[in-house]
């Protein structure tokens, strides 16, 4: 009998997880850009709504692919962007995005 071949399901799942990770890292980039624009007073309502959606998508996708902490962090960003009058500063929100990116980059 020849060598055991790799499980095709596992290979597909690994490919999907890798694609999701790259997409989530791009979402983190988008959030960082949106928060920077917010700090400069250049984030319009449409941009804010896009950022809220990106944070929501990141939260769900990260959790689905085993990045629970990144998902929790993305939810915090989503809440901040949905109600920017909260006392959280943009600098604190940017730090949360950086932590989220670090969590995603670990695996």
**Exposed/middle/buried for residue 40 (C-beta within 10 Å: 0-12, 13-18, 19+):** exposed
Q: What is the pLDDT of residues 4-35, one digit of tens each?
A: 557 999 999 999 999 999 999 999 999 999 99
Residue-range definition of the domain harbouring residue 41? 8-105
Q: How many domains does the chain have?
A: 1
The answer as to whether 30 is a domain residue is yes
3: in domain: no
| Assigned domain for 2 exists | no
Query: Locate tokens 């596992």: which residue?
Result: 10
Name every residue whose Cβ is closer than 8 Å to that of residue 25 and which is 6 or more positions away in sequence.
Answer: 101, 104, 105
Question: 92-105 pLDDT, tens per residue?
Answer: 999 999 999 999 99
Separation of CA 1 from chain center: 45
Give the C-alpha separation, 13 to 80, whole Å: 32
């Amino acid at each position: 009998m020849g060598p055991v071949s790799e499980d095709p399901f596992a290979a597909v799942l690994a490919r999907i997880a890798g694609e999701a990770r790259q997409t989530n890292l791009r979402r983190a980039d988008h959030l960082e850009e949106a928060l920077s624009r917010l700090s400069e007073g250049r984030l319009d309502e449409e941009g804010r709504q896009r950022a809220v959606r990106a944070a929501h998508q990141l939260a769900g996708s990260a959790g689905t692919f085993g990045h629970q902490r990144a998902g929790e962090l993305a939810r915090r960003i989503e809440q901040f962007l949905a109600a920017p009058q909260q006392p959280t500063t943009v600098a604190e929100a940017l730090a949360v995005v950086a932590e989220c990116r670090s969590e995603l980059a670990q695996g």
